[in-house]
Structure 1
């Protein structure tokens, strides 16, 4: 009895050849449908994967375009700042003897200025701009336009150094004519 169940049923007379043929066709149709279903599923999975990849690429492209636009805007702002500072900067006097010290970052820098320019700096009529590793004197009305485009190009004004109420050295004021 090594034959298949179908052969055994045919030999026993329980089933006839017509029924066996129908069973084989039914079995073949089921296998074919199963295969077609897998093919459809595989195709749908491929389409879904392609669509996901397409969406990811579009998102990366949008991010890259946004980054490029930001870089172009920064370059344009820097060019405008450079043009404003170079067009409106005041020439530094060549014969000045007074050394004007100011802080930029953590370092103390200096410019040699005459007393008129120092007074204008103290009143806020002039400000110091930093561009291309050099310092320039710029009028206050231009400073606002420069700060709108690039705030770090203009050095901040010195902070008011009036002593606090609880400062024990408040009675010992620093002389106004002290030049450091």
Structure 2
């Protein structure tokens, strides 16, 4: 078994017997003075050990918080995936290209005429699932937006809700061609 710290230092050659005796003598003097004067001797080793335990506990709390956040995000993503999978409309039925923006990129999805009208009216919305875009009913898009607003890519009511009446009607004096498709 390893002896005291003093013995270990002597064996390692980091100190000699004379210095070790002097350190022990100083320590006994400090303890005697502290005992007689009522002053508490602060043990640096105990303080360092307490501090190390507190630091470890703080790191553990931070790690647990990160893991909890990760699990929460995973659960939210699973809920969103389930919402999209259970209520998405069938793809590939339409021949009309419907353009929308995802961030700063313009994307196109092919829809039927009725779906185009419903998307424009705000009855349907476009949600992102991975790298795919799915058309979902508006109530489902609202539920998805509650969990993660970035996953609802296109929703007419959201786009118009930010504009004032004056901003909505700025184009009223311009004539829109009948054959314009967006």
Residue pairs, 1:6-21, within 5 angstroms? none
Aligned pairs, how many? Answer: 148
| RMSD of aligned Cα (Å) | 3.0
Cα separation, partners in 2 of 1:164 and 1:142, compared to 1, 3 Å: closer
> Between Structure 1 and Structure 2, whose CA radius of gyration is higher?
1
Cα separation, partners in 2 of 1:171 and 1:129, compared to 1, 3 Å: same
Alpha-carbon distance in structure 2 between the residues aligned to 1:172 and 1:85: 38
| Alignment gaps of 5+ in structure 1 | 1-30
Which residue in the other structure is 1:154 paired with? 152
Which residue in the other structure is 1:9 paired with? none
TM-score, normalised with respect to structure 2: 0.70
Which residue in the other structure is 1:36 paired with? 28
Task: Render the CA deviation track for 1:117-154: whole Å, top value 9, x for unaligned.
Answer: 01111111110011110010001111122112222111
Could you tell me whether the CA contact under 8 Å between 2:95 and 2:111 is conserved in 1? yes
Which residue in the other structure is 2:127 paired with? 129
Residue pairs, 1:1-180, within 5 angstroms? 34-38=26-30, 44-94=43-93, 96-158=94-156, 159-160=159-160, 164=167, 171-175=173-177, 177-180=179-182
Cα separation, partners in 2 of 1:35 and 1:102, compared to 1, 3 Å: closer
Q: Bigger CA drift: 98-107 or 70-79?
A: 98-107
Q: Bigger CA drift: 133-142 or 41-50?
A: 41-50
| Alignment gaps of 5+ in structure 2 | 1-22, 35-39
Alpha-carbon distance in structure 2 between the residues aligned to 1:107 and 1:50: 56
Cα separation, partners in 2 of 1:170 and 1:37, compared to 1, 3 Å: farther
Could you tell me whether the CA contact under 8 Å between 1:164 and 1:170 is conserved in 2? no
Task: Render the CA deviation track for 1:14-44: whole Å, top value 9, x for unaligned.
Answer: xxxxxxxxxxxxxxxxx98743145799871
Deviation at 1:171, TM superposition (A): 2.4
Could you tell me whether the CA contact under 8 Å between 2:97 and 2:110 is conserved in 1? yes
